[in-house]
Structure 1
């Protein structure tokens, strides 16, 4: 994903540079047309330039579509690769800790499952740099998809505790997931098998897989349920400010 991100940044830089150069050339061309004695030659040059600019614009648009398609396909593959993985947060971090024992304890004692053992996991380690603020999340990759499904199905039993289970989303999906929750509310957005599920204001469920699909959902549902309640006079002003702030973050994500 990092290489693809680099390609995207390079493509954007080339596009910006090229468009700036063509804009500068247009300005110089207008000055030359106004002062040149060979008006016919300048008109021909202007026509050629317009054709060139149109051609370059088409090439850049095609390149952009190809890169977007490539990024989307890689994200789909990465999501499938993470299908057997879950993140568990809130487990106390200790020096010399036995993570397999810790996550097995969560699954067996907190979730009420009695078939989880060390052999149930193929990967178990913490993510991120060690800090004193809060324990780092633990990445669990299960040997069997059915075991992961059992754990995920019983996650509601953790309600009221400090432990939280979540899916191991890709960066793109995580960004969309956060933006969707900011717009529609926490209770109206969840994940299933790496996909983002949104409960729309009309009660229908919608699957969102990337920023483009999310942009279309926002276009059709610009007003959130929270904003509707506020309009009826049941929502405090402080929350209205928070909604406007989240809407701004949503617009920035859609532009990406």
Structure 2
């Protein structure tokens, strides 16, 4: 791409130097349009590649956090303000899963347990909670999940994924669907709100 870019730029510059007020500029304008399309296509390709690399880096970073959890709400010394979360690492993923499964025992207390998400995933999770509501968003095994408009569970990795789900939710639905919510959807929502 770099060699093509340099070649086209040199060609374009030489044509500009050769033009005079009497020269027909149609060929020059056509070259400019083709060059502009080339640049736009190249930039879109690079943007896609950067986004793909960023997602892969995020996945690799999450694999490194598999044995780490965050404990929130544990009191500190009096007068120290809001308690800071405690980050702890366990020896293996099985033990981490056992602790995660036992977190339902913390219900009703001020102490909560959460996964140690990357900055990108945490941002998407917080955005999902803001746009869809706390009861429709949760994390499990380092993935962010949301309930869509029909009660369907979706895995979300970025704001674009969330935007698609929210846009489907805001579209008008037929009256028959609105009048009665499926029983499966209510049961699933009740089960997931405990997560």
Shorter-chain TM-score above 0.5: yes
- Structure 2 gaps, min length 5: 1-19, 172-195
Equivalent position to 1:166, from 100, 114, 131: 114
Report the Cα distance in structure 2 between the residues aligned to 1:44 and 1:200, rounded to whole angstroms: 52
Equivalent position to 2:22, from 29, 38, 44: 38
Q: Are 1:207 and 2:155 matched, yes or no?
A: yes
- 8 Å CA contact 2:146, 2:153 repeated in 1: yes
Compute the RMSD of aligned alpha carbons.
2.2
CA-CA distance at 1:37 after TM superposition: 4.2
Report the Cα distance in structure 1 between the residues aligned to 2:47 and 2:29, rounded to whole angstroms: 27
Q: Deviations over 1:21-49 (max 9, x none)?
A: xxxxxxxxxxxxxxx84251x22222221
The secondary structure found in structure 2 opposite 1:60 is helix
Equivalent position to 2:33, from 39, 50, 68: 50
Equivalent position to 2:131, from 179, 183, 188: 183
How many residues are paired up? Answer: 153
The secondary structure found in structure 2 opposite 1:91 is coil
CA-CA distance at 1:192 after TM superposition: 0.2
Equivalent position to 2:170, from 222, 233, 237: 222
- Structure 1 gaps, min length 5: 1-35, 96-130, 224-256
- TM superposition score normalised by structure 2: 0.71
CA-CA distance at 1:58 after TM superposition: 1.1
Match in the other structure for 1:75: 58
Report the Cα distance in structure 2 between the residues aligned to 1:39 and 1:219, rounded to whole angstroms: 52
Q: Deviations over 1:69-97 (max 9, x none)?
A: 000101111111111111001112349xx
Report the Cα distance in structure 2 between the residues aligned to 1:132 and 1:51, rounded to whole angstroms: 64
Report the Cα distance in structure 2 between the residues aligned to 1:195 and 1:89, rounded to whole angstroms: 19
Q: Are 1:141 and 2:125 matched, yes or no?
A: no
Match in the other structure for 2:142: 194
Q: Deviations over 1:162-183 (max 9, x none)?
A: 2111110111111111111112
1:136–1:163 distance in 2 versus 1, CA, 3 Å: same
Q: Deviations over 1:94-120 (max 9, x none)?
A: 49xxxxxxxxxxxxxxxxxxxxxxxxx
Equivalent position to 2:73, from 71, 90, 97: 90
Report the Cα distance in structure 2 between the residues aligned to 1:203 and 1:68, rounded to whole angstroms: 29
Report the Cα distance in structure 1 between the residues aligned to 2:167 and 2:117, rounded to whole angstroms: 24
- 8 Å CA contact 2:66, 2:142 repeated in 1: yes
Equivalent position to 2:47, from 45, 64, 68: 64
The secondary structure found in structure 2 opposite 1:154 is helix
